Structure 1
Amino acid sequence: MRDLALALAVTLTLIGALFARPALAFEIEEVATFGAGAQVVSVLSTTDAAVFAPVIAGYLETRPDLTVRYTVANSQQVYAAIAGDGAAFDLVISSAMDLQMKLANDGAARAFDGGGVLPDWARWRDRLFAVAQEPVVMIARRADFAGLPLPQSRADLVALLRDNAERFAGRIGTYDPAESGAGYLFATQDARQSDSAWRLSEVAGSLHPQLYTTSAAMIDDVQSGRLALAYNVLGSYAAARPDPGMVVIQPADFTHVLLRTALVPVTSTDPAAGAGFLSFLLSSQGQALLADAGLPPVSDTTITAAPQLRPIRLDPGLLVYVDPMMRQKFLTEWTAAVVQP
């Protein structure tokens, strides 16, 4: 299926002109076109085209009359495209739940009535819908923990870092919340869940952690040996890169579950096309294809079976740290804790 999907990509370009539209202010990472149908569905997403290609291929098997134009940007740029530029995409998919919630709450999302299959925690009204759920994990390089227990919680990690500072100095990685939308979401959710997150930030900060904008880069550096441990990594990325020298840890105190969400923007010129693709993503076939692509399907059963899993709820509480003043206050405090002289 993946080979078929990639074969369907008629064009794949890096940052550049967007399908002969007028120049837009937001920054594009890649653009891919799938299929050759007369009707075009325009999708804006934070997920790499290569990851989503098999899902699109499955959809086009049911709708050969369509072409899917798939544009990739980072989460902050996706938000800017809709909120600032009013870009005319038919479906918006993002890992930044807080920014998606702001779009929906601010009236930038159209009503969609096909989300009844989702549990309450995976949807917000009839505007915002989870299409995949992903645990946010720690990954550790086994060789660097020789003679030490692997941390199973944030308290364990604090103790290990404090007691083995020389071993881990400069070799802990995490997201830079000032540069990454997902990283900012995870950091603020840590702070909402427990004061232990600030203690971990302070201890890790004393060891001069490496800061990243993607999970993939953190995994690269754990596998290469540059990092001993990476904190707040998307579990789907780690699962896609199995390595016997690397262990994935879901913290027992709490493991955030990111919801990758979708909405049909009011700026869409063909909202029925966006709604059609969203319906497919929420269908059993779409969920199975997402799972095959490494994006775990939305499942109430999975959550209830593992008490450490805590879905980041789709509710207006996500908007607290989106407020510019709150964002600046949080980043100031985080920087003081983590970026130490």
Structure 2
Amino acid sequence: MRLARLAPVLITLITLGTAARAFESEAHVIYEAAPGSPVLRILSTTDIEIFEPMLRAFQESNPGTTIDYTVASSTEMMNALMSEGQAFDVALSSAMDLQTKLANDGMARSHVSTATSRLPDWANWRDQVFAFTQEAATLVVSPAAFEGLARPRNRQDLITLLREHPERFRGRIGTYDIRSSGAGYLFATQDARTSEIFWRLMEVMGGLGTHLYCCSAEMISDVASGKLAFAYNALGSYAEPRQAAGEAIEIVMPEDFVTVMHRTALIPASSRSPGLGGAFVDFLLEAAWSGDPPDYYPFATVNPRASDETPSLRPIRIGPGLLVYLDDLKRASFSKAWLDAVVRE
């Protein structure tokens, strides 16, 4: 098997300059099989280095299949699939609301199989959107930045710390930029629905010069380097392996509530090889929901009873409720309130 890589910068330049693929991608890799073999085209928000073991395992089980894997933000994924009708066979995204919108608007194919039939109701929406992870939005902190201070147990503790020690935290706070991050917008809207303390926290963070990011990985890197004291709503699934590898970070799960998102998979209506897409979705779901996931599955085991065992967990449910904040007027109103609190332009 030969792995052909193109540099992300080169791919971005090509996407911007090519009418056939006008959306912006962040990275692109091709896992080649024999010349002329069928091609499985995957569009994903998950970084290549995280998902590569899964891709290689699928190709080992399907050695006659070439895999074309493109990484893009959830916003660019929507541009590709909804605005441009790009032909991908699988879409994998951390933005559950945008995946739900694609399915709701007729942009996803139905897929029924043994693997999909085993999913609980909350993990399968209309046989079109399928959950394959369970990932908490956490507080990732720098131990050095909190030296001499108790770790915040909840959002009120965090607000109190920021008010009592503003100079320690000024310019050293990070969170998602909801204007460019679909996952960030999803977390923000869900936090706001859960508790009004979210807005009080955003006001305090905004007053201390919060840095805005597209992705968890970049936030966590800046916490590990000491640039940030903490990152709010960074994915624990990205932070855990880095903490285990010895990076200078700690993960705090707030006791008041922890928003839990699910990465989801769907087969776009524009797919040219829906059979291949379905085969990959089944392969992914079988790994995720096996109870004892194989080594190539890159995320923590999905636990269907997690919220029963840990009441502070607030899983986001796939379904039409996620479409509320995608309404243009609702989105504009929420975004303005968030910008007024956090950015203060």
Class of the TM-score when normalised by the shorter of the 2 chains: over 0.9
2:48 is matched with: 49
2:343 is matched with: 339
2:154 is matched with: 153
- Structure 1 segment 1-341 matched on structure 2, within 5 A: 8-14=2-8, 15=11, 16-17=13-14, 23-37=20-34, 38-114=37-113, 115-242=116-243, 243=246, 245-284=248-287, 292=296, 294-340=298-344
User: Deviation string for 1:99-127 (max 9, x for gaps)?
Assistant: 11100110111111131222222221111
How many pairs are equivalent? 333
Amino acid at match of 1:49: I
Q: Cα 1:59–1:165, aligned 2, differ >3 Å: closer, same or farther?
A: same
User: Deviation string for 1:24-77 (max 9, x for gaps)?
Assistant: 221112221114041211111111122111101111121111111111111101
Q: Cα 1:315–1:286, aligned 2, differ >3 Å: closer, same or farther?
A: closer
The answer as to whether partners of 1:35 and 1:60 remain within 8 angstroms in 2 is: no
Amino acid at match of 1:262: A
Amino acid at match of 1:270: S
Question: What RMSD in Å do the two structures reach over aligned CA positions?
Answer: 2.0
Q: Cα 1:299–1:202, aligned 2, differ >3 Å: closer, same or farther?
A: same
Give the alignment's TM-score, normalised by structure 1.
0.92
Amino acid at match of 2:271: S
Q: Matched residues in 1 for 2:83 and 2:294: separation?
A: 30
- State the Cα distance separating 1:286 from its structure 2 match: 8.2
- State the Cα distance separating 1:303 from its structure 2 match: 3.6
Q: Matched residues in 1 for 2:50 and 2:124: separation?
A: 23
The answer as to whether partners of 1:55 and 1:289 remain within 8 angstroms in 2 is: no
Q: Matched residues in 2 for 1:310 and 1:290: separation?
A: 27
Q: Cα 1:67–1:289, aligned 2, differ >3 Å: closer, same or farther?
A: farther
Q: Matched residues in 2 for 1:87 and 1:39: separation?
A: 17
The answer as to whether partners of 1:8 and 1:57 remain within 8 angstroms in 2 is: no
User: Deviation string for 1:272-314 (max 9, x for gaps)?
Assistant: 1100100000114786667755422432033432222211110
Large movers: runs of 4+ above 4 Å: 285-293
User: Deviation string for 1:253-290 (max 9, x for gaps)?
Assistant: 11111110010011011111100100000114786667
Amino acid at match of 2:23: F
Amino acid at match of 2:268: P
Q: Cα 1:290–1:232, aligned 2, differ >3 Å: closer, same or farther?
A: farther
- State the Cα distance separating 1:147 from its structure 2 match: 1.8
Amino acid at match of 1:120: D
Amino acid at match of 1:249: V
The answer as to whether partners of 1:236 and 1:296 remain within 8 angstroms in 2 is: yes
Q: Matched residues in 1 for 2:42 and 2:165: separation?
A: 47
Q: Structure 1: 5+ residue runs without aligned partners?
A: 1-6
